Amino acid sequence: MPPEAPRGYKPLTVSTLPDLLMSLSEIRQRLGGRPETWQVREVGDGNLNLVFLVDGPAGSVCVKQSLPYVRAAGEGWPMPLERTFFEYSYFRIVAPWVGSLIPGILHYESELYCLIMEQLSPHIILRRGLVTGQRYPRCARDIAEYVALTSFYTSDLEQPLEQKMAMVATFSGNSALCRITSDLVFADPYRDAARNRWTTPQLDAIAAEFRGDGALKVAASRFGHKFLSQAQSLIHGDLHTGSIMVTQSDTRVIDPEFAFFGPSGFDIGAFVANLLISYFSQDGHAGPLAPRSEIQAWLLEQIEVFWLHFRSRFAALWRAQASGDAYPATLFGEPAGREALEIERVRVLDEFFADMVGFAATKIIRRILGFAHNIDFEWIADPDRRARCETAALQLARTMLLRPADFTSVADIVAAARHFRGCEGDQLD
Ligand code: SR1
Ligand code: MG
């Protein structure tokens, strides 16, 4: 049984949603016409929520509503409704910095835990585009820009401590979603958990190896500990390729319901993990008339585009403007201070890189051995073929966790990815 919902809350349906939208003058005007003429579709295919698309004669909206349980698991896995409040709060905080890299946020209906946003069209979910072999020239750079802005502006480098702590206090309420990440990413894939699944019997042996590998469990737990204890910046918390919508010329970040103050390396690791997952999965989607080698080379290039842009933008923001309480500007006005601070910036960015590698590894493993899988691998119908792709990804991820000193540049990640895919001899475009 789901937990008792608060008074006033009811899951919306395609028949009840128009009444709500009619009562909101700005939304009513945006859609235009009469509600009978509006086309309402429920399209949610994520793990948690209801998502409706509404089209009227004048315009359209997207409506997202929390359910009191995990949609992908059913009513037996209850989940507090407040996640939409955290999503709304996150969007409100980052909007001034990231501008049109998120959808326009139109209204939050607190009793119904429902958020009304701009409907993005003709955008599609990045992951779906990648599975069909599409490339998106702006995406990696846009996401790097996005993460540089959000992770810098919400950090102690920029925020006075009073404001930062007030924001930390707000997002500390999002413990239910942090619990999901803590369990599903950092613990379950390394233990016997009823929710786990993998391609069986092909991956039975490697799944057992992971559960029995003490060093691997320590390494994954080290990143789990960072996730729980390092309130460096307001992170999206689930920045995989299913949380990004794209066209050839536009990129939008959606679904920040897992937002909280955590390690800055978590979001960048999530994005890189999902580029790598796509890279390994392409072999499962390739056909004699549809080779995937070009997109595979492109995906590896995007890791470099992403990291280099993130690194230079974050450093530039820090150099240009830093009014927070960490590394106070008043300490570093003279040349020796400036020089020492520049060396420290390099150290901090190197630490982000190491965190990106570790978090990326844990995010790859959870999508293959844990509860929530990705269509990148799931849509490979032949289980033997799928298992080969998944095994190569697992081998890379295990190496990233066990041999972090071997990964100090993007070239190291790329070389290792190519090694485990068994294509070292190929020429990169
Ligand atoms: C129970 S929710 C499972 C996963 O879906 C979301 O996208 C998050 O990644 C979460 O871990
Ligand atoms: Mg999501």
Closest ligand, as measured to the CA of 125: 2
Instruction: Find the 47 Cα to ligand 2 centroid distance in Å.
Output: 7
Per-residue pLDDT at 1: 42
Give per-residue pLDDT as tens, 272-326.
999 999 999 999 999 998 899 999 999 999 999 999 999 999 999 999 977 999 9
CA 161 to chain centre: 26
pLDDT tens by residue, 142-157: 999 999 999 999 999 9
Mean pLDDT of 218-240: 98
Q: What are phi and psi of 50, to 5 degrees?
A: -90, 140
- Average pLDDT over all residues of the chain: 96
Instruction: State both tokens at 287.
Output: 């056909």
Predicted confidence band of residue 428 (pLDDT cuts 50, 70, 90)? very low
pLDDT at position 103 is 98
State residue 296's pLDDT score: 98
Mutate to test the pocket of ligand 1, among 66, 184, 196, 267 (most ligand atoms within 8 A of CB): 184
Give the pLDDT confidence score for residue 424 in this predicted structure: 65
Percent of the chain with pLDDT over 70: 98
**Ligand 2 centroid to 73 CA: how many Å?**
14
Q: Are 115 and 105 in contact (CB under 8 A)?
A: yes
Instruction: Please write the tens of the pLDDT for every residue from 33-54.
Output: 999 999 999 999 888 999 999 9
- pLDDT for residue 271 is more than 80: yes
**With a 6 A CB cut-off, is 372 part of the ligand 1 pocket?**
yes
> 3-state secondary structure string, the chain?
CCCCCCCCCCCCCCCCHHHHHHCCHHHHHHHCCCHHHCEEEECCCCCCCEEEEEECCCCEEEEEECCCEECCCEEEEECCCCHHHHHHHHHHHHHHHHHHHCCCEEEEECCCCEEEEECCCCCEEHHHHHHCCCCCCCHHHHHHHHHHHHHHHCCCCCCCHHHHHHHHHHHCCCHHHHHHHHHHHHCHHHCCCCCCCCCCCCCHHHHHHHHCCHHHHHHHHHHHHHHHHCCCEEECCCCCHHHEEECCCCEEECCCCCCEEECCHHHHHHHHHHHHHHHHHHHHHCECCECCHHHHHHHHHHHHHHHHHHHHHHHHHHHHCCCCCCCCHHHCCCHHHHHHHHHHHHHHHHHHHHHHHHHHHHHHHHHHHCCCCCHHHHCCCCHHHHHHHHHHHHHHHHHHHHCHHHCCCHHHHHHHHHHHHCCCCCCCC
Do the bridges between strand 114-118 and strand 105-109 make them parallel or antiparallel, or are there none, so unpaired? Answer: antiparallel
pLDDT at residue 234 is higher than 50: yes
Would you call 39 exposed, middle or buried from its count of C-beta atoms within 10 A (0-12, 13-18, 19+)? Answer: exposed
pLDDT value, residue 322 = 77
State if residue 48 touches ligand 1 by the CB under 6 angstroms criterion. yes
Q: State if residue 70 touches ligand 1 by the CB under 6 angstroms criterion.
A: yes
Residue 4's pLDDT is 65
Give tens-digit pLDDT for 251-264: 999 999 999 999 99
Nearest CA to ligand 1 atom 8: 238
Cα 66 to averaged position of ligand 2 atoms, centre (Å): 11
Q: Which residues contact 195 (CB under 8 A, 6 or more apart)?
A: 73, 184, 188, 370, 371
Residue 427 pLDDT more than 80?
no
Model confidence, pTM? 0.96
CA of 79, closest atom in ligand 1: 1
296 contacts 264 by C-beta, under 8 angstroms: no
- Residue 3 is predicted with a pLDDT of 56
Q: What is the pLDDT of residues 56-111, one digit of tens each?
A: 999 999 999 999 999 999 999 999 999 999 999 999 999 999 999 999 999 999 99
Mean pLDDT of 389-417: 98
Cα-to-centroid distance, 238 and ligand 2 (Å): 7
The C-alpha atoms of residue 81 and residue 409 are separated, in whole angstroms, by 41
Question: Stretch 212-224: mean pLDDT, rounded?
Answer: 98
Confidence band (pLDDT; 50, 70, 90) for 429?
Answer: very low
pLDDT, tens digit, for every residue of 104-141?
999 999 999 999 999 999 999 999 999 999 999 999 99
Minimum-distance ligand 1 atom for the alpha carbon of 72: 1
Q: How far is the CA of 72 from the centre of ligand 1 (A)?
A: 9
